[in-house]
Amino acid sequence: MEGLTTSRRDFGPHKVLPVKIHQPDQFIPSEESMDLLTTYKQDYNPYSVRRVDPIKPRDSKYPCDDKIECLPTYKADYLPWNQPRRELLRPVHNYRPASTRFDSRTTHQDDYSIKGLVNTMSCKPPAMPKLCNIPLEDLTNYKMAYVAHPMEKRFVYEAEKFKPCEIPFENLTTHRQSYRGLMGEPAKSLKPPARTCGQDMPFSNTTEFRDKYQAWPTPQMFSKAPILYVPPEEKMDLLTTVQAHYTYPKGAPAQSYRPVHCVKKGGRFESSTTTKDDYKRWASMRTEPIKPIPQLNLPIEPLDCLTTTRAHYVPHPPISTKSCKPPWSGPRGNIPVEGQTTYTISFTPKDIGRCLASYSEPPGYIFEETDALGHRIYRPISQTVSRRNSPFSVGDSEKPNQQELAVSA
């Protein structure tokens, strides 16, 4: 296999020269002093400045005493019309409330009179235990007609043993067949060599600001010493203006008009209150409710508790039904399951042939040409012989049934 790539073939190595570094000129500090002048100080010329007179007119010293006529244009031009007032369009209020007292009764209270409770008798029969000496018949059609049959032995299908293929596996790939293992040159690095710094001089830490800036003398700041605090020797008068001038020589604290609560230490608790003493209970009689006269006449005889089912139902003995299940034919023998399917009957095994492209010279084909993409085209020997014998050689390439074999180089 050729060890050339598109990059190695098209891009050849060129001679790389070291980059020349520009050597700056040595800095020589200037001996002249900095003038510290600006364009504003140099070009601006000061002018004399004077106060500008105000533009606002002065107030008159002699005001006019005549009364101003305050009649606006709206009052002079727009005069009100003398029209009568329009009456409101609303319905006539003819409702007059009744002079009699409202009885506050509803239609429901007038039409539906109060009816008393009706004492009804329960028609539910008493819950009496029913004692029966006849045992419950637990036979069903399933119990009578079911016949237990012996279980058959389950047939176990034996799997066929695996038979390995006798043809040896051909461990040949396209890479193993086409790769020749040619020795190629090792790849060369196209990385340029590392350049070294050509200056061995130390870095200069001087700047234009450090060279030309002149330090102005800074005057010492004046600091005033604080005055020491001397506490006063006299005592502080804590009286306010109200305490000093507004005094009450004849005043006394206010006395409470609330009576003193007497606490009784012993004796019976007096539970009488103002409400109990002043508001006595009146002697009143309880009014009985107005009950309407019952209009329903209840029967005196007790209810017989008979329903339509109990009165007319006649019990009949159960009828045993005949089973329509087909009779059992008996246990089957150990007959194996038929393992034939459509696939096993119609399948025809075919031999796996070797791919013709894996041969260096495929049998039954003759090399014809190599196309523009590098594919080697082979033709069958039978077509080559018939092509030589037939007079038409131009239209053979247009036949749809013609088979060609193309192998990539």
The stretches of 232-323 forming alpha helices (DSSP H) are: 241-245, 274-278, 308-312
In DSSP terms, 369 is beta-bridged to 377
Q: What pLDDT does residue 398 have?
A: 42
Where helices occur in 252-291 by DSSP H, the ranges are 274-278
| Dist CA 10 CA 354 (whole Å) | 40
Q: How far apart are CA 341 and CA 101, in angstroms?
A: 107
DSSP state, residue 29: -
Strand residues in 167-304 grouped as ranges (E): none
Report the length, in residues, of the chain.
409
| Beta bridge mates, 378 | 367, 405
For residue 393, the model assigns a pLDDT of 43
Q: Which residues, 6+ apart, have CB-to-CB distance to 16 below 8 Å?
A: 192, 193
SS3 at position 365: strand
Helical ranges in 302-399 per DSSP H: 308-312, 342-346, 381-389
Please, what are the averages of pLDDT over each run of 10 residues along the chain (409 residues)? 77 82 87 83 80 74 73 82 84 84 82 77 80 79 88 86 83 80 78 69 77 81 87 85 76 74 67 80 81 80 82 84 80 68 81 80 86 86 66 43 51
Q: How far is CA 203 from the centre of its chain?
A: 61
